[in-house]
Amino acid sequence: MLGSTYVVSDSALADKPIINWESSEPFRVDETSSELKFKARRIWTDLAGTIYPELRHEVGKKTDVEITLYRESALRGVVANGNSVETWGLTLTPAPK
């Protein structure tokens, strides 16, 4: 798994990652499981250190983390120009029964 996290609230930065992710061991996606756990490495970029000065000492470090994803039924989308922020991610999930 390779991925990135972006700052989408600022259109000038929206295509530049602040975190890069890479899986640190093989993992399998089981279609019947309700959750997926895997180990990954989080790597803060130079941009993260610029935007968030308190993270400067973390830039470039590969920090091992465990990620857990849960299976759910959801609608996903974006809200444009919400609360003076250019774009917000949005997830709607069913209420617990």
Verdict on whether the full-model pTM lies above 0.85:
no
Kindly tell me the burial class for residue 75, based on how many C-beta atoms sit within 10 Å of its own C-beta (0-12, 13-18, 19 or more): exposed
Note down pLDDT in tens along the chain; length 97 residues.
Answer: 888 888 877 778 778 899 999 988 888 888 888 888 888 899 999 999 999 899 899 999 999 888 888 877 665 665 554 444 444 455 555 555 5
Domain positions in the chain are: 2-71
Instruction: Write phi, then psi, for 61 (nearest 5 degrees).
Output: -70, 145
